[in-house]
Amino acid sequence: MHILIIGAAGMVGRKLTQRLVRDGSLRGRGVETLTLVDVVTPEAPDDFPGSVNCELADLSAPGTAERLVQSRPDVIFHLAAIVSGEAELDFEKGYRINLDGTRYLFDAIRKANETDGYRPRLVFTSSIAVVGAPLPFPIPDDFHSTPLTSYGTQKAICELLLSDYSRKGFFDGIGIRLPTICIRPGKPNKAASGFFSNILREPLVGQEAILPVGEDIRHWHASPRSAVGFLIHGATIDLQEVGPRRNLSMPGLSATVGEQIEALRRIAGEKAVKLIRREPDEMIMRMCAGWAPGFEATRARALGFTAESSFDEIIRIHIEDELGGTL
Amino acid sequence: MHILIIGAAGMVGRKLTQRLVRDGSLRGRGVETLTLVDVVTPEAPDDFPGSVNCELADLSAPGTAERLVQSRPDVIFHLAAIVSGEAELDFEKGYRINLDGTRYLFDAIRKANETDGYRPRLVFTSSIAVVGAPLPFPIPDDFHSTPLTSYGTQKAICELLLSDYSRKGFFDGIGIRLPTICIRPGKPNKAASGFFSNILREPLVGQEAILPVGEDIRHWHASPRSAVGFLIHGATIDLQEVGPRRNLSMPGLSATVGEQIEALRRIAGEKAVKLIRREPDEMIMRMCAGWAPGFEATRARALGFTAESSFDEIIRIHIEDELGGTL
């Protein structure tokens, strides 16, 4: 089996690659070839016995999609996107990368399908940013997409394209609406939502972190391990069962910031909690108010997608996967 | 005031033009210039004292959108689209005309906005085809878009773009989700939904009509007069009140085919009803089963959009507007 990962150098892409290498198979077939693509050259995994192609390529550039599809990968993970903040600041770039790039990919597959019946499984990462306030809690599966960012708009449009191209039989697609990934490994970044991870990750290693919002803010989380699990499960399940509605809100954990902090206290003690410095930020508080508090995810759960059920579990996964298993 | 109508040669476009000429004003300002554009040259209205430009132009051709925006029309009605059946048969043409054409228009306005602050009112005709079975009845305003046709997908994508471009302040847009227009004037056509009009329009003038489905089929209707009313009202109301969710399911009349026939009987007698010939068509019956039975349209009604409340009224409007007032 040949697997193509577009956006392989990102956090989720790297973890997905590791998981595929560790599993060695997908859908009951051995993974023979990995093609890893991103706008920075992805690193080849160390211990993969098959063949690996690491490519620097921009999906929004003419010809890239056709070239990637030429070798007819069996499964395509399309994770590439510029993030919300950048898409909001650079309107044209957001539409070029997040919408046009995706459409080039879908059309390259469609043309290959028309040529020789090629019909890969396509797993696309969408986002909870496709919804926007005012929102009910929990948000039902049949709630409309009313994004309040260009990024969310681009993801919602790609979801519609994915359903239509799947309906027409050009590929067998599934859109995975990822919760906010928590705890994100790495350094604190400037994403407005970064604090959800920062207030756990930094104190766990004795570093200070800033909390810009109140403890009553409720949001929707899943671990990086769950995110990868969603993608693997999305690549595996029978999509006939999913029917024509191909975009699924993933399960996750709905928790307040206060509940995050209580879990940190249980696992790392009061000393860790004391490292959280409160610095209210009006802008982040306003943005937060429009974010999704949580989804029902009824369909995804019924299809076997699973996520964490407590923040203790999310923190323990971070300790296992990022900190060598101990504090 | 300068008004641009793209798709002016179609049934709704012609009726909208007539209404604007009759009213002579929009939003309290006199209509001085009408630019009428379509892929066949629109006819100039007879009795308009202002200036009229009738143009043959294809919005999906490079440069068309920029040219149309150059004269900075105050209000733009964008009604142009290829219909559902054609978009389903010709995938590339559907996306080119219904999606790319619209995006070219939106981007031409965005660039004009960046140049000199131009920010027109933009009224876009969307469709109930943005939803697809299984559907609740009535369909609430916050029900998700899950189109089962490429046409519906293209309309749903344009809705998302319209909201995002409006949110960014490039134009002041509103998307009008039209019910099925009934009674459509003219000859019977091959649209699968044509029978809803045919079974009334033809018997009213003593002609036979074919009913391909059962009398229990429930669907969502509004008269051509109401459709034009929606567009005018959409061009007029304060969109601050509408907020960021710019696409509105219009009010309409939810009725079964049986209820349509009862109204025909009350207005034109048993003689007319006898002209309806039953010829069940499996394909049309299957398609019908996926169509929208009716919408709550709570937001649109609260904003003052109105439609008919009985099929008697819909038939009477047809007699007044198309048959000179009498049978």
Per-residue pLDDT tens over the stretch A224-233: 999 999 999 9
Q: Indicate the range of A126-140, A183-197, B155-169 predicted with least confidence.
A: A183-197
- Measured distance CA(B271)–CA(B276) in Å, rounded: 10
- What chain A residue is nearest to B150 in terms of C-alpha separation? A164
Give the model confidence (pLDDT) of B194-231 as tens digits: 999 999 999 999 999 999 999 999 999 999 999 999 99
Check CB contact under 8 Å for A146 and B244: yes
B248 forms bridges with which residues in the sheet?
B176
Q: Give the pLDDT of residue B105.
A: 98
Give the model confidence (pLDDT) of B37-56 as tens digits: 999 999 999 999 999 999 99
Determine the length of chain B: 327
Determine phi and psi for A288, rounding to 5 degrees. -50, -40
Confidence class for position B191, pLDDT limits 50, 70, 90:
confident
Q: Is pLDDT of A189 > 80?
A: no
Nearest CA among B223, B225, B201, B221 for reference residue B211 = B201
- Measured distance CA(A292)–CA(A271) in Å, rounded: 31
Is the sign of the CA dihedral A267, A270, A272, A277 positive or negative? positive
Q: Indicate the range of B107-116, B225-234, B252-261, B278-287 predicted with least confidence.
A: B278-287
User: Is B153 in CB contact (< 8 Å) with chain A?
Assistant: yes
Q: Give the pLDDT of residue B318.
A: 98
How confident is the prediction for chain B on average, in pLDDT? 97
Whether the CB-CB separation of B70 and B118 falls below 8 Å is answered with: no
B195: number of CA atoms within 13 Å, CB side? 25
Helix (H, G, I), strand (E, B) or coil at A164: helix
Over residues B1-27, the mean pLDDT reads 97
Check CB contact under 8 Å for B147 and A163: yes
Whether the CB-CB separation of A92 and B106 falls below 8 Å is answered with: no
Q: Is pLDDT of A145 > 90?
A: yes
Q: Is pLDDT of A111 > 90?
A: yes
Q: Is pLDDT of A271 > 80?
A: yes
Whether the CB-CB separation of A167 and A189 falls below 8 Å is answered with: no
* Packing angle of the helix pair A257-273, A195-204 (nearest 10 deg): 20
Sequential DSSP letters for B75-103:
EEEE-----HHHHHH-HHHHIIIIIIHHH
Q: Give the pLDDT of residue A191.
A: 79
- Measured distance CA(A28)–CA(B313) in Å, rounded: 62
Q: Give the pLDDT of residue B192.
A: 85
Confidence class for position A207, pLDDT limits 50, 70, 90:
very high
Q: Which of B160, B168, B245 sits opposite A156 (nearest CB)?
A: B160
Q: Is pLDDT of B122 > 80?
A: yes
Check CB contact under 8 Å for B157 and A161: yes
How confident is the prediction for chain A on average, in pLDDT? 97
In chain A, count of helices (H) and strands (E)?
Answer: 12, 14
Q: How far is CA B82 from CA A86, B10, B18, B50, B148, in A?
A: 35, 11, 22, 30, 16
Residues of A in contact with B168 (CB under 8 A): 91, 150
- Burial class of residue A153 (count of CB atoms within 10 Å of its CB; 0-12, 13-18, 19+): buried
Confidence class for position B126, pLDDT limits 50, 70, 90:
very high
Please give the share of chain A, as a percent, with pLDDT higher than 70.
100
Give the model confidence (pLDDT) of A35-77 as tens digits: 999 999 999 999 999 999 999 999 999 999 999 999 999 999 9
Q: With left for phi above 0 and alpha for psi between -120 and 50, is residue A294 left, alpha or beta?
A: left
Q: Give the pLDDT of residue B94.
A: 97
Confidence class for position B187, pLDDT limits 50, 70, 90:
confident
Give the model confidence (pLDDT) of B59-69 as tens digits: 999 999 999 99
Angle subtended at Cα B103 by Cα A170 and Cα B176, rounded to the nearest 5 degrees: 95
Is the sign of the CA dihedral A174, A40, B161, B38 positive or negative? negative
Q: Which of A110, A147, A160 sits opposite B153 (nearest CB)?
A: A160
* Packing angle of the helix pair B311-322, B257-273 (nearest 10 deg): 50
Q: Is pLDDT of B255 > 90?
A: yes
Q: Give the pLDDT of residue A327.
A: 87
Nearest CA among A245, A247, A101, A164 for reference residue B151 = A164
User: Is B137 in CB contact (< 8 Å) with chain A?
Assistant: no
Check CB contact under 8 Å for B157 and A157: yes
Check CB contact under 8 Å for A147 and B163: yes
Q: Give the pLDDT of residue B142.
A: 98
B59: number of CA atoms within 13 Å, CB side? 32
Is residue B118 part of the annotated active site? The answer reads no
Domains of chain A (ranges; CATH) run 2-179+223-249 (3.40.50.720), 192-219+253-294+308-322 (3.90.25.10)
Nearest CA among A318, A81, A92 for reference residue A201 = A318
In chain B, count of helices (H) and strands (E)?
Answer: 12, 14
Over residues A171-200, the mean pLDDT reads 93
User: Is A109 in CB contact (< 8 Å) with chain B?
Assistant: no
